[in-house]
Chains A and B, each alone.
Chain A
């Protein structure tokens, strides 16, 4: 079969990817020897594959002890089992906070202590972690999650304040883009946060409530919004000094 350049180019890529076998491979190699253009292409593609194979992320290690991961999954499973338990979206939220918090706040000793066994010892039981340590960790996770939520809410409010692109100049409307949708996403996360450990975020309650009110207003806006509606919202954010309070509370929650 006679291949055009596209066919040859495809062959060179598959050869570099190491997926050609037998006669196909021989034919591709023979062609590369006789065609300078394809040989250069093959060398470049091989260099790319070699780069990918040296990517440090290939051997990335989870920064969270297996015991913590396992417990988090088991708890989520328990929640699902209990009728009326928390919605499943929570499982996205807690691990996100867990990941960040464990890296930042969990003492390195805990990581060293509970470092997962190598694959050869895969049948060994997972190490035990004290309930107190895990409870403390989870409280910290909730606070970390609240801090992240507030930071992202602050970004939304800043975007609202900075919006100035007209989408319908004669009607005095400006383009908010996906900001209302982002507010709705954040409000969903806020609902999950409320179900979490209330004590852990008690000091942030007032700020969380004010942020929620502001986000609700943003969430109800169309993406092409009347400038005066936006002005009203901006004034309200200023009046409540919301951005400053968000920054202060975020720092407090992050310890």
Chain B
């Protein structure tokens, strides 16, 4: 097989430029990947602000490490790896912080002070679904949470998840089945 060419504008070419210190490669690379990385971080962190921070941090980190990028790998999974690791770090920090302060979210205020009527529209049902899933995901340890996000939000194969998280295939499988069972248990509690 012929070696892959760095076509102009391809991820490889952009990564090569970035590795050589060309900042101009950052914008097209961001344009191509930022939405996907945002959704990855959002699925994991469940907070739009945190997800945005993580995406920006991920691109800065990509720029810093581009020279060390292994050209035989694809840039997309490499960026995903950066983003999921940053998401895990941030989630860990947030949890430490929340150990002391757990202010009611705006939504909670509405729920607490509302008139108790059933959800009238789709928006509220969606919010309920989102909240229940957040609650189920919160029941998971950070790596299991990452496996679920990569599998069910990013549609990655087990092998891709293993590469992204630096885990063995067997560990990914164990993590996935444990995570799904744990989420099922938690959902039973919040959605009787």
Contact = CB atoms under 8 A, between A and B. Distances in A.
A interface SS class: helix
Contact of B38 (A60, A70, A92): A60
B interface SS class: helix
Nearest to A158: B101
B153 A14 contact: no
Interface string B90-114: 0000001101110100000000000
Interface residues of B, number: 55
B142 interface: no
Interface stretch (A31-39, A96-104, A198-206, A236-244): A96-104
Contacts of A61: 35, 38
A99 B130 CA distance: 20
Contacts, number: 159
A64 interface: yes
B56 A95 contact: yes
B35 A62 contact: yes
Interface string A74-113: 1011101000000010011001101110010000000000
Contacts of B42: 57, 60
Among B101, B136, B157, B177, max chain A CB count under 10 A is at B177
Contact of A69 (B30, B64, B126): B30
Contacts of B43: 55, 57-58
A92 B34 CA distance: 17
Given A99-B49, A185-B97, 20 more contacts: A14-B177, A19-B176, A48-B180, A54-B129, A57-B153, A70-B27, A70-B31, A73-B59, A73-B63, A76-B60, A80-B64, A100-B49, A116-B34, A117-B31, A122-B28, A155-B101, A155-B103, A177-B99, A178-B99, A179-B100
5 contacts: A13-B177, A13-B181, A57-B130, A60-B42, A76-B56
Interface in B132-157: 132-133, 136, 148, 151-153, 157
A96 B49 contact: yes
A119 interface: yes
A44 interface: yes
A10 interface: yes
Given A17-B151, A58-B39, A60-B39, A69 B133 contact: no
A49 to B, nearest CB: 6
B81 interface: no
